Amino acid sequence: MNSKLTAAEKPKFAIGLRCLNCGEKYSFEQLKEERGTTVVNLCYNGCLGPLEIEFDYEAISKILTPKEVAARPETFWRLRELQPVNEIKIIDRPYTPLVRSRKIGKELGIELFFKLDLAEANPTRSFKDRPATLAFNRVLELGHFEKVFVASTGNLAIATAYLARTNELPCRVYIPRSLGECKKDAIREQLGEDSEILELDANFDECLIRSVNDCRKINEEARLAGQPERCFVPNNTTRPFYKEGSKTSGSEIALQISKEIEPNREVNIFYPIGTAALLCGADKGINELKKLELFENPHRIFGVQPDTCSPVVTAWEEIKNGKKLEDVEIQPLKKFETIAKSIAIGNPGSGKEALKVFAKSGGGAIGVDEEDIFDAELELIREENLFPQFVGGTVLAGIRKALATGEIEKGAVVVANLTGFGERIRDDIFAVAEKYGRETETTK
């Protein structure tokens, strides 16, 4: 196998990869020589921990000056030097809107903004378009991938199916057979002709294992034949690239909110916690802007989980009770159930990293009651004319609770991330309304 790097294999402003667990570093040249590929997701020489891309911020700072950034349009690739790319393969799109609350903010006595990742600016109306774009850009640049596999209970499958179809790559989506019909329909709508859904009598974890195993087998055969990889799993095999896409959530919010408020005001940003990768990526994106002197407002990151699935909140409580951050582990949950299905994750992959983000930014993790999630969801629909998935209700319920406990104060600037469009959980909303004996008029 040729171990010389091609132009596409070395992202322009990336130095290499670093293990988040043990700190072992890898250059792209080293990856190519030792593994025959630059698409590597684990620290293979060390602890097999997750890898993260490192950037040359000195070089980036010479290009991304405040003047240069201000002159660029507000689009996804505005800060492309901060992404692991050489050539843009995925078509650009506008920022998702950041809008002021019409009613709820006044009622709560805070300056409330909504970041609308559920809006049409995201091609499939969820935040998953962000990381999936980076994974696809990478494989399209490399040019030797023939198929994409993905396991998902919704938004990621939809984003992946869309990107596969629009870039003419066959896609196989692994889903639990028990997935709601609205979600299945939304996935089917995005599938190309040569793509398929594999419904398994399995839970999400088992679907994920199957997808990774299937991908690995094909790539092993290719490797043994001296060929490059043929398949990828966006959030797994191309994980280091995928992960960088979430930074755009934070950097967009920072550049948008700085036009709305004074530069010394603190911004409290609320995210849902599923895997916690989004909030960790967003925080990284904001800190990069600070490093480049493109954003100066202090910021705090909060994460919200349903009480019925809250391993990160439990770990955060231990820290609040005096335990040292380095001594706290996320205890995975085996059994959990919540109406906010897209964040029903018992073992959040970025949970530990999220604890560091909360500690460093002065934010925190908040657990919320199921009925409060539902009430907040209805409030967003009725009062703001917004239709997020229950995850949006989770975030608003978290803001209410943070105000009640004094974690944020009256008058605070608060951003609520509404990460996915509610249409694809319409059947769930009716089912939950019936369960709680609530009027469903406004959800019709």
Partner 1 sequence: MAETISREFRLEFPKNLVKEPVISNVIKKFDLTANIRRADVTADGGWLILSIEGAPEVLDDAEKYISECGVKISPAESDLN
Of the pair 192, 346, the CB lying nearest partner 1 is at: 346
Distances (CA, A) of 367 to 9, 302, 402: 42, 11, 10
User: Is the Cβ of residue 276 or residue 396 nearer to partner 1 in the bound state?
Assistant: 276
The tally of CA atoms less than 13 A away on the side-chain side of residue 285 is: 28
Burial class (CB in 10 A: 0-12, 13-18, 19+), 333: middle
Gap between the Cα atoms of 297 and 295, Å rounded: 6
Q: 50 vs 363, which CB is nearer to partner 1?
A: 50
User: How many of the other CB atoms lie within 10 Å of CB of 255?
Assistant: 21
Q: Which is nearer to partner 1, 62 or 217 (CB)?
A: 217
- Phi-psi map region of 322: left, alpha, beta (phi>0 left; psi -120 to 50 alpha): left
Minimum distance of partner 1 from residue 51's CB (angstroms):
10
For partner 1, give the closer residue by CB, 41 or 268.
Answer: 41
Who contacts 273 (Cβ-Cβ below 8 Å, separation ≥6)? 279, 303, 304, 305, 312, 313, 343, 348, 351, 354, 365
94 or 346: whose CB is closer to partner 1?
Answer: 346
Minimum CB separation from partner 1 for residue 245, in Å? 15
| In the complex, least distance from residue 317 CB atom to partner 1, rounded to whole angstroms | 21
Judged by the rule CB under 8 A, the positions of this chain that interact with partner 1 are 21, 41-42, 44, 46-50, 205, 208-209, 212-213, 216-217, 220-221, 223-224, 235-237, 239, 275, 345, 347-349
Helix ranges (DSSP H) in 292-332: 311-320
Distances from the Cα of 21 to the Cαs of 9, 286, 291, 403, in angstroms? 24, 22, 23, 35
